[in-house]
Amino acid sequence: MKSDVPESRATEAVARGPRVPFRWMDTLWVQVTGTLCNIACQHCFISCGPKATQIPVMGVDEVQRALDQGRDAGVRHVYFTGGEPFLHPELQSLVARALDVAALTIVTNGILLDDDTVRWLAGAFERSRNALDLRVSLDGMTAAQNDSVRGRGTFAEIVAALQRLGAGGFSPVVTVVEHEQGLEGAEARARFLDFVRGLGIRQPRVKFLPLLRIGREARRSEGYADRLGDEALLPAVESSLLCATGRCFTAQGVYTCPILVEDASARLGASVAEASRGIRLGWAACQTCVLDGLRCNT
């Protein structure tokens, strides 16, 4: 498996920082398309893009294996991520398989959601007892704001996709990365909700995410200067971390969380069972989770 991290640093990373016991295997992230994405955002926390193959696309059998292990562990939610999950040639089948096990959220940039896709998604939503949710990322209310990080023309494409989803009766969660000032606070939130409602989405849901300064984003801002000390976390913080209640399955093994899939030192094993153990937060990005409150409980 590939690694940019020298072995010595890998060991160092996991041997320090606050301890996070593994509470429950509630959330199984599956990086179905690896790092493959149809766009290449500047703030992507894994360096995804149309030619990014450093983490391969998962085969159907591999995804099924992840889901089976999730089922054995009594998993509650499955998240499909990439890259861009809708680039997966067998996504329809993967969605059906995941919904058979748990509630499913697909994290997407939305661009590939054409009418046909929205139609089959709506069918899957109707048929399944388990929830099917979409998380579409949009990083501003204007093309200028969004396209500066996501690429020229993407605002119009994402907005069109949101309109199709709204027309299809979907209520996607629109995620906004706080990549510039003015995208945070109650007022910004209210304006964003109105904006999304204006696209024909009846029950808009918006989630603001703090910026992760790793991956390609590390080149845009300065990355992280520091790491967390060894002091114990507050229980409320500890229990709300992604890595306390979930693991990420990729073509290269099972990782602490979907954020660190490019860091070999965050690989905890080949199976969910192997990876279901406590860790120490020795990675730089952990600061964002701990200090800025990156959570996934909406």
Partner 1 sequence: MRAAFFGGIYNNYIGLEEALADARRRGAERLFCLGDVGGFGPHPDRSIESLRKAQVEMVQGNYDDAVGNAREDCGCGYTDPRDNHFARLSYAYTLDKTSAGHRPWLAGLPPQLSVELGGTRLHLVHGSPRQQNEFLWESTAPDAFLERLCVEAGADVLLCTHTGIHWQRQLPSGRRVVNVGALGRPANDGRTCVWYAFLDTEAETAPPFCFIPLAYDHQRLAREMRAEKLPEEFVETVLTGWWTTCLEILPSKERLRGRF
* Site residues (vs ligand SF4, CB under 6 A): 37, 39-41, 44, 48, 82-84, 109, 241-243, 256-257, 259-260, 281, 283, 285-286, 289-290
Binding mask 121-140 for partner 1 (x = CB under 8 A): ----x---xxxxx-------
Q: Which of 52, 54, 77, 140 binds partner 1 (CB under 8 A)?
A: 77
Contact in structure between 47 and 61 (CB atoms under 8 Å): no
Site for partner 1 contains 178 (CB under 8 A): no
Instruction: Say if strands 19-20 and 279-280 run parallel, antiparallel, or are unpaired.
Output: antiparallel
Residue 132 interacts, among ligand SF4, partner 1, none and using kind-specific CB cut-offs from 5 to 8 Å, with partner 1
**Alpha-helical regions (H) of the chain:** 7-14, 60-72, 91-101, 115-127, 143-150, 154-167, 186-197, 217-220, 235-240, 242-245, 272-275, 286-292
By CB under 8 A, which span of 69-77, 106-114, 209-217, 270-278 interacts with partner 1? Answer: 69-77
39 or 134, CB closer to ligand SF4? 39
Residue 243 interacts, among partner 1, ligand SF4, none and using kind-specific CB cut-offs from 5 to 8 Å, with ligand SF4
Contact in structure between 128 and 167 (CB atoms under 8 Å): no
Enter the tokens of residue 107.
């994290």
Contact in structure between 29 and 248 (CB atoms under 8 Å): yes
Find the binding residues for partner 1 in span 253-272 (CB under 8 A).
none
Site for partner 1 contains 90 (CB under 8 A): no
Q: Which of 14, 103, 176, 259 binds partner 1 (CB under 8 A)?
A: 103
Query: Cis peptide leading into 83, omega within 30 of 0?
Result: yes
Q: How many residues bind partner 1 (CB under 8 A)?
A: 29
211 or 285, CB closer to ligand SF4? 285
Residue 3 interacts, among partner 1, ligand SF4, none and using kind-specific CB cut-offs from 5 to 8 Å, with none
Tell me the closest approach of the beta carbon of residue 152 to ligand SF4, in angstroms: 14
Residue 67: name the closest of 249, 201, 199, 231 by CA: 249
Residue 71 interacts, among ligand SF4, partner 1, none and using kind-specific CB cut-offs from 5 to 8 Å, with partner 1
Residue 133 interacts, among ligand SF4, partner 1, none and using kind-specific CB cut-offs from 5 to 8 Å, with partner 1
Question: From the centroid of its chain, how far is CA 257?
Answer: 9
For the chain, report the end-to-end CA distance as a whole number of angstroms: 33
Enter the tokens of residue 188.
């910004």
Assign 3-class secondary structure to 246-276: EEEEECCEEECCCCCCCCHHHEEECCHHHHC
By CB under 8 A, which span of 3-11, 73-81, 106-114, 248-256 interacts with partner 1? Answer: 73-81
Say how many CA atoms lie within 13 Å of 38 toward its Cβ: 16
Residues that bind partner 1 (CB under 8 A): 24, 26, 70-77, 101-103, 125, 129-133, 169-171, 186, 189, 203, 205, 295, 297-298
